[in-house]
Amino acid sequence: MRNTPKICVINGDGIGNEVVPETVRVLNELGDFEFIHAHAGYECFKRCGDAIPENTIEIAKESDCILFGSVTTPKPTELKNKSYRSPILTLRKELDLYANIRPTYNFDNLDFVIIRENTEGLYVKKEYYDEKNEVAIAERIISKFGSSRIVKFAFDYAVQNNRKKVSCIHKANVLRVTDGLFLEVFEEMSKHYEKLGIKSDDYLIDATAMYLIRNPQMFDVLVTTNLFGDILSDEAAGLIGGLGMSPSANIGDKNGLFEPVHGSAPDIAGKGISNPIATILSAAMMLDHLKMNKEAEYIRKAVKKTVECKYLTPDLGGNLKTFEVTEKIIESIRSQMIQ
């Protein structure tokens, strides 16, 4: 790691153009960074015909981390037969960002983490249409290699972060081959980590969806496949006020990309009322990745104070603007740094 971390900054579309610059303001309070701005998203696609130009991919590969905002995903009917590639799925594939970490906490009685396999499952986008039979078909790819490394990542995460239990979320009672393989890998690997004091169990995906609402405290670390993790983490966001409070990290062996879970929210874009907290908390995860743990904790404590004092945007019942929430967070960070 170089002395001055090189951060690729991709605002994206919609409110990404609001929450990412606010997050950069916060980061500038905490250290010296080299920010390299790059383009991606639907607006980029309309300008140059590519939602993620090769130059953006190269900048991302050469950077220590990527701070990613949000992008608008066009409907197939809007593309008029033009080829479109998802910026975030492309970066996950190009940088082999196989682990998606999505923490859910409310600074009080709720604290669990969903770790989602990021490169396989239905999101490999292997689809085709059988015109003769008028049937659309998608392949779901689950490999032993992919399953092994995400399960190991989840158990290692538990060990490194003083977590006590890892739960495997699956549908092996129906998807006996694909999820059967995922569960088999989990059960075999859990034997090693039991010796390190990490408990393990497993739940069906549909039951988990109910348990997250009725008793989320029963979970600590959840590891699951791509689509299941995507859906569960959005459900989990509902427990803490919405997607505006939900950060995430995409981690590979060489790179890390950090983004809010929310989308581009075109209905509020440009109004200055978007919630910057999810992106700012994603930056805290980035600082942890850069071994700047003290600075990451400054952010989390500042966000906690801001929420407790109800300095909030409208999505959380407040009346502050995006930049005003950021100001409150920066004020708290500065207060911590002089103590």
The set of catalytic residues is: 123, 171, 206, 230, 234
Give, rounded to a whole angstrom, the gap between the first and last alpha carbons of the chain: 29
Q: How far apart are CA 305 and CA 310, in angstroms?
A: 8
Q: How far apart are CA 228 and CA 234, in angstroms?
A: 10
The tokens for 145 are 């290699």
Paired strand residues for 115: 101, 223
Q: How far apart are CA 283 and CA 25, in angstroms?
A: 11
What values do phi and psi take at 191, rounded to 5?
A: -60, -40
Q: How far is CA 35 from the centre of its chain?
A: 20
Q: How far is CA 300 from the centre of its chain?
A: 17
Among 43, 40, 16, smallest CA distance to 244 is for 16
Decide: residue 106, CB within 10 A, 0-12 exposed, 13-18 middle, 19+ buried.
middle
Q: How far apart are CA 285 and CA 66, in angstroms?
A: 12
